[in-house]
Structure 1
Amino acid sequence: MDMNTIEALVPTADPADWRDGDAWLAGGTVLFSYGSQTLRRLLDLTSAGWEPVEEDDGGMTLASTCTIARLWELGDPAGETVARWPGLAVVRACCDAFVASFKIWNLSTVGGNIATALPAGPMTSLCAGLDGFATLWDKAGGRELPVAELVTGDGRNALAPGELIRSIRLPAHALLARTAFRRLSLSNLGRSGVLLIGRLDPDGGFVLTVTASTKRPVQLRFAAAGLPDAEGLAEAIDAAIPGHLYHDDIHGLPAWRRDMTYRLAEELRVELVEGGA
């Protein structure tokens, strides 16, 4: 960690307190590991005391400061929460996709992982896959934005200067869905090269969310009356993901990511649409 330019740690969650040279601090696992030569103050969101998880009949709200460790508890497959909201069956698989120690799990946050906007960010995958909407705060008030649109590229997001993620809302229709998860990496403990979440909604519609293989999340939606066969799904992926959108780094070449996206997408289609293994 190299942040010797920091002059103050300010306990606040008020966007009106933000000024040039500030950074919002939740878990700080990425902020501290990257370091900075320009930041002057850290605005500590953990002082806000936001409830990590809140439920109602319309769904669930995750505070941006909800830790991965808390989320892991929520995803207990034998627990009452998953029994009530079966869509959360993919939570623990997404937590495991961090390939991180318990120290990271107890500090890293849902909002921080999304704001970092790495293609392989598993909280982006989870919240986008469950049709999550982010509530964003700034000095002028607030707005809502789908998580699938909040991450715009490799390390890029739609947050304006000083804007922060207050929470993520997961709607009931996604939480009541049947979900499935697929992930591939070039090594057993490597960063995700491909991560897909499939969803069969209560109305019979099929939703496929592609992350990690692409620079930003890509969602494909099929109504119950138009569920795809193998050829139709491949054609839809062709149309939705142009070649330049596949990510290219040491964790996987674009050609490999593309081929594995088609492979895992078909596995999800068979499992959810056709009811196969």
Structure 2
Amino acid sequence: MDMNTIEELLPTADPAAWRPGDAWLAGGTVLFSYGSSTLRRLLDITEAGWEPVTITEDGIELAATCKVAELYALPDRPGLPGEWRALDLVRQCCDAFVASFKIWNASTVGGNICTALPAGPMISLCAALDGVATVLSPDGRTRQVPVAELVVGEARTTLAPGELLRSVHLPASALHARVAFRRLSLSNLGRSGVLLIGRVGDDGALVLTVTASTKRPVQLRFAAPGPDAGELRAALVAAIPFDLYHDDIHGLPVWRRDMTFRLAEEIRAELLESTITERA
């Protein structure tokens, strides 16, 4: 879509340069799809020189400008710790875009998170792995916020005007966990209507992250040995009021709620009952 109100394209990743009427530009796949009648400048961060993926003993740092295609290639990188079993989620979440190679080579991790659509699979991935976002402010300050708390509603985040998402850190402790992924949509190539990820760490605790069916990420944590089926359902009912379920053409709230219950139980059975079997 043409954006005929834009007066300047400014290559910068300096939040101090931001002023009202500006928007940060990375992949631009959503920005150019929806357009705008109010924006005057685009602040282009694509040439900031940020390393897309940085691997250390502490985990993985994903630059906001990391493209989906670059993230998809991550599991093939040599030297990755073999015990980082949660890397299995990377390609499952990338595939949840159900997008063409053209989108994969333009859309970015940071853009998908900041757009804050309920079906954003980078939100699902980073929230489920306890990702922590580094945010740069126009006044020079830097703050860290969990991705699960950064997105607070449909197309709503806690980012203040001018703030810029710099990167997301995925801790090694979460990457070490066993994981289970479940996704449903109303059509074979449709937008995610329900997307749940569960993980169990070495301590046996279960972390369940609900996305796509809800307007914002919802995370439940259960100490070992974890909940039974009834306890899990009760916890979901308590954590997700009905009006938090998303409502659009990709799924009615009742369907999203019922499928959330179903997929959560599948994940619980896969992760916890297999753990009990292994210990026996």
TM-score band w.r.t. shorter chain: over 0.9
| Aligned residue number for residue 243 of structure 2 | 244
| Aligned residue number for residue 21 of structure 2 | 21
| 1:121-157: CA deviation from partner (whole Å, max 9, x where unpaired) | 0000000000001000012211111100111111111
Q: Does 2:159 correspond to 1:150? A: no
- Aligned ranges 1:65-214 → 2 under 5 Å: 65-76=65-76, 80-81=79-80, 83-140=82-139, 141-214=141-214
**CA offset at residue 82 of structure 1?**
6.8
Q: Residue 79 and residue 275 in structure 1: after superposition, are their counterparts in 2 closer, same or farther (change >3 A)?
A: farther
Tell me the C-alpha RMSD between the 2 structures. Answer: 1.5
- Contact 1:130–1:175, Cα closer than 8 Å, also in 2: yes
Return the alpha-carbon distance in structure 1 between the equivalents of residues 240 and 193 of structure 2. Answer: 16
| 1:89-147: CA deviation from partner (whole Å, max 9, x where unpaired) | 11111001101000000000000000000000000000000000100001221111110
Q: Residue 170 and residue 110 in structure 1: after superposition, are their counterparts in 2 closer, same or farther (change >3 A)?
A: same
Amino-acid identity (%): 71
**CA offset at residue 2 of structure 1?**
2.1
Return the alpha-carbon distance in structure 2 between the equivalents of residues 90 and 238 of structure 1. Answer: 26
**CA offset at residue 72 of structure 1?**
0.4
Normalising by structure 1, report the TM-score: 0.96
Give the letter for the 1:221 counterpart. Answer: R
Return the alpha-carbon distance in structure 1 between the equivalents of residues 78 and 258 of structure 2. Answer: 36
- Contact 1:178–1:200, Cα closer than 8 Å, also in 2: yes
Q: Look up the SS of the partner of 1:267 in the other structure.
A: helix
Return the alpha-carbon distance in structure 2 between the equivalents of residues 143 and 194 of structure 1. Answer: 30
Give the letter for the 1:31 counterpart. Answer: L
- Aligned ranges 1:29-48 → 2 under 5 Å: 29-48=29-48
| 1:37-94: CA deviation from partner (whole Å, max 9, x where unpaired) | 1111111111111000111111111000000000100134x96537352111111110
- Contact 1:82–1:88, Cα closer than 8 Å, also in 2: no
Return the alpha-carbon distance in structure 1 between the equivalents of residues 274 and 250 of structure 2. Answer: 32
Q: Residue 82 and residue 249 in structure 1: after superposition, are their counterparts in 2 closer, same or farther (change >3 A)?
A: farther
**CA offset at residue 201 of structure 1?**
1.1
Q: Does 2:233 correspond to 1:230? A: no
Q: Look up the SS of the partner of 1:19 in the other structure.
A: coil
Q: Look up the SS of the partner of 2:82 in the other structure.
A: helix
Return the alpha-carbon distance in structure 1 between the equivalents of residues 30 and 82 of structure 2. Answer: 33
- Contact 1:82–1:89, Cα closer than 8 Å, also in 2: no
Give the letter for the 2:86 counterpart. Answer: G
- Contact 1:74–1:82, Cα closer than 8 Å, also in 2: no
Return the alpha-carbon distance in structure 1 between the equivalents of residues 237 and 214 of structure 2. Answer: 13
Q: Look up the SS of the partner of 1:118 in the other structure.
A: coil
| Aligned residue number for residue 51 of structure 1 | 51
| 1:183-202: CA deviation from partner (whole Å, max 9, x where unpaired) | 00000000000000000112
Return the alpha-carbon distance in structure 2 between the equivalents of residues 200 and 5 of structure 1. Answer: 49
- Contact 1:54–1:62, Cα closer than 8 Å, also in 2: yes
Structure 1 segments, 4+ long, off by >6 Å, are: none
| Aligned residue number for residue 8 of structure 1 | 8
**CA offset at residue 267 of structure 1?**
0.5
**Uncovered stretches (5+) of structure 2, i.e. residues with no partner:** none
| 1:5-39: CA deviation from partner (whole Å, max 9, x where unpaired) | 11111111000000011100010000011111111
Normalising by structure 2, report the TM-score: 0.95
Aligned residue pair count? 275
Give the letter for the 1:148 counterpart. Answer: A
Q: Residue 79 and residue 239 in structure 1: after superposition, are their counterparts in 2 closer, same or farther (change >3 A)?
A: farther
Return the alpha-carbon distance in structure 2 between the equivalents of residues 192 and 181 of structure 1. Answer: 13
